[in-house]
């Protein structure tokens, strides 16, 4: 028994050494902005922000304006924003002004999940990062809190297409706290919640007992756990480390303050899904297609709600990052 414990301890130390070496090597492939680099060195709170919402989720020119406002919101709440993207084969954690403008305005910005990262880096191309890719890069960079709009999940009809977002797999393997407005209402919310449970991804509602559905405050499903403030969330994050469950992410579901008219939402969703099917749109192209369809069909209402979602999540994420100190 003593020998087994000794071998376990040796193997654990070896694993940690190997893992640490890999992380150091991966960090060398990342370029940090001056602001983020200084914050990490000083031990200040940092919040990761995704870039797909800038390049593919919001129309120009409001996308750049919202991105700048989100960064300012994080700063105003005491944390440092680290928008993550790939530009010309380089992984950026934190974007300078010109780089943020490039992500917002260039036409050669693709959409990258984790599996695409090495290919894009090796080919010297550029891409905005999805929730999965952003969370992965943030974790490598040592950032623990991440604000996004809506989480990806199980798509409708996945029992036939097997279409499930890589967000779920990534969050089942990363030490990350993700603040979001639930999952996008275009998904199969029930199936997504089941997958979150199966993958042991933590889930709490921020001042709500109902799971939000992006444009809607209530997707129709109840939440088991509720928190009232950033300090409670920080306590959960610290407890996860003490009991060894930090290698699964924690999702903080923060409902939008003013939801879309439900009847209008359901009408647009039904017609949007039918149009996507008719035009053969599938995979990761579905989300940006439907977001744009919502924007057009709702005459801008969905865009306004989407903007408020990301702003609110940035503020809460920054409060959590500060509470962790």
Q: Which residues are known to be catalytic?
A: 50, 184
Buried b (16+ CB within 10 A) or exposed e, 109-140: bebbbbebbeebbeeebbbbbbbbbbbbbbbb
Q: Where on the phi/psi map is residue 78: left (φ > 0), alpha (ψ -120 to 50), or beta? A: left
Q: Measured between alpha carbons, how far is residue 231 from residues 59, 85, 250, 309, 317 in Å?
A: 35, 30, 15, 21, 11
**Tokens describing residue 314:** 């940035």
Q: Report the SS3 class of residue 140.
A: helix
> Is the bond into 61 cis (omega within 30 degrees of 0)?
yes
Helix (H, G, I), strand (E, B) or coil at 153: coil
Alpha-carbon gap, residue 263 to 245, rounded angstroms: 40
Nearest Cα to Cα of residue 307 among 253, 272, 270, 258: 258
Rounded Cα distance between 111 and 117, Å, is 10
Q: What's the rounded Cα separation, in Å, for the pair 241 and 269?
A: 40
Given a contact cutoff of 8 angstroms between Cβ atoms, the answer to whether 114 and 170 are in contact is yes
Distances (CA, A) of 69 to 98, 184, 310: 15, 22, 10
d(CA 166, CA 170): 6
Count how many Cα atoms sit within 13 Å of the Cα of residue 56 in the half-sphere of its side chain. Answer: 22
């Amino acid at each position: 028994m003593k020998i087994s414990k000794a071998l376990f301890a040796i193997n654990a130390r070896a694993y940690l050494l190997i893992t640490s070496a890999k992380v150091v090597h991966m960090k060398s492939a990342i370029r940090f902005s001056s602001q983020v680099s200084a914050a990490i060195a000083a031990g200040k709170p940092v919040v990761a922000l995704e870039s797909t919402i800038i390049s593919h989720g919001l129309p120009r020119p409001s996308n750049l304006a919202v991105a700048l406002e989100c960064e300012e919101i994080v700063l105003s709440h005491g944390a440092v924003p680290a928008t993550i993207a790939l530009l010309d084969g380089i992984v950026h954690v934190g974007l300078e002004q010109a780089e943020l403008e490039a992500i917002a305005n260039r036409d050669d910005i693709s959409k990258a999940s984790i599996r695409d990262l090495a290919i894009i880096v090796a080919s010297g191309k550029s891409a905005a990062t999805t929730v999965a890719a952003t969370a992965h890069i943030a974790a490598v960079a040592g950032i623990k809190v991440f604000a996004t709009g809506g989480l990806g999940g199980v798509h409708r009809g996945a029992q036939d297409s097997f279409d499930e977002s890589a967000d779920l797999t990534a969050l089942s393997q990363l030490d990350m706290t993700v603040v979001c407005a639930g999952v996008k209402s275009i998904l199969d919310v029930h199936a997504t919640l089941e997958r979150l449970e199966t993958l042991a991804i933590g889930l709490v509602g921020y001042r709500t007992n109902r799971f939000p559905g992006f444009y809607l405050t209530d997707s129709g499903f109840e939440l088991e756990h509720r928190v009232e403030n950033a300090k409670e969330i920080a306590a959960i994050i610290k407890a996860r480390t003490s009991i060894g469950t930090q290698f699964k992410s924690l999702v903080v579901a923060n409902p939008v303050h003013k939801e879309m008219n439900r009847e209008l939402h359901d009408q647009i969703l039904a017609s949007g899904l039918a149009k996507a099917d008719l035009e053969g749109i599938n995979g990761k192209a579905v989300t940006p297609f439907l977001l744009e369809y919502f924007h057009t069909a709702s005459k801008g209402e969905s865009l306004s709600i989407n903007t408020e979602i990301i702003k609110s999540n940035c503020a809460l994420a920054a409060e959590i990052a500060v509470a962790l100190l």
